[in-house]
Amino acid sequence: MQIQKPHPQLFSFEFYPPKTEEGAASLHAVRSQLAKLNPDFFSVTFGAGGSTRDKTFDTVIDIQAKGIAAAPHLSCVASTKANIRAILKDYLDHGISKIVALRGDLPSGMMSAGEFRYANELVEFIRQETGDHFQIHVAAYPEIHPQAANGNDDFKNFKRKVEAGADAAITQYFYNAEAYFYFVDRCAKNGVDIPIVPGIMPITQYTQLFRFSEMCGADIPRWMRKRLEGYGDDRAAIQAFGLELVTNLCQRLLDNGAPGLHFYTMNQAAPTVAILENLKL
């Protein structure tokens, strides 16, 4: 197994932009709690096609104003160059220096009329327009992106994003640590030496987790699915099992050289805090 070059272990937390005032108030409280853990940055998702453009922007600017580095996600599907240029300018003008650059997924049935096909084109465009200003993170798929023809093509496509100028990658969440270690190994063997930060999805329930994992190509191992199903409506049992499982996963990743962890918080603090407390970080 290839151990990645030592980087200081960094933690980042991802939120989605709240839709309601109630959601915004709740996210404020969550952010304050997570800010105490001294994260490297908070990131905020972006609805493909620009559906959350203003709300992502407002959330990012608010985070930055509270003294924490904020990384907006930016997806390019169905977008024009003029659109992306305007968004980049807004972020530049507001002192934002990190971006998570993605293709995004359009809702089914919606056709893309955009000027970008894949995330590597977005990375290239950001570099053309803004030089080295932004630290660019891209997505990585240790368990293979669901639309990829095969693992080789998917890896080549990932490499294109790095060659276009990505500084770091955040993975889709996974529960098979081996998939991550093999991916990191493959990067090392192919001269890709950017940090590959594992994306971590805490487990708090399972119906939604199964549905979401099906869509995004994250494998829920059979034994794990059977254990979770066995708990039925017993939420406390699901959470206790999920906490133990994800803590062990994180510990193993960090022990074997992962450069940090990126938590998909789903706008909740408690599950992430519990994992980090267990890890004594």
Contacting ligand FAD within 172-201 (CB under 6 A): 172, 199
Would you say the C-alpha torsion 249, 187, 11, 147 has a positive or negative sign?
A: negative
| Contact with ligand FAD (CB under 6 A) among 27, 98, 103, 265 | 103
Shortest separation between residue 87's beta carbon and ligand FAD, angstroms:
13
The answer to the question of residue 145 lying near ligand FAD (CB under 6 A) is yes
Q: Please report, to the nearest 10 degrees, the dihedral formed by the alpha carbons of residues 255, 257, 260, 261 taken in order.
A: -60
Strand partners, 13: 42, 263
The answer to the question of residue 12 lying near ligand FAD (CB under 6 A) is no
The answer to the question of residue 160 lying near ligand FAD (CB under 6 A) is yes
DSSP 8-state symbol, 118: S
Active site residue 121: no
Nearest to 179 by CA among 225, 138, 218, 214: 218
Residues near 152 by beta carbon (within 8 Å), at least 6 away in sequence: none
Nearer to ligand FAD, 60 or 203 (CB): 60
Q: Where are the alpha helices (DSSP H) in 94-150?
A: 119-130
Nearer to ligand FAD, 201 or 238 (CB): 201
Q: Which of 14, 121, 124, 143 is catalytic?
A: 14
Residues that bind ligand FAD (CB under 6 A): 45-46, 48, 73, 75, 100, 102-105, 118-120, 139, 145, 147-148, 153-154, 157, 160-161, 170, 172, 199
The residues annotated as belonging to the active site are 14
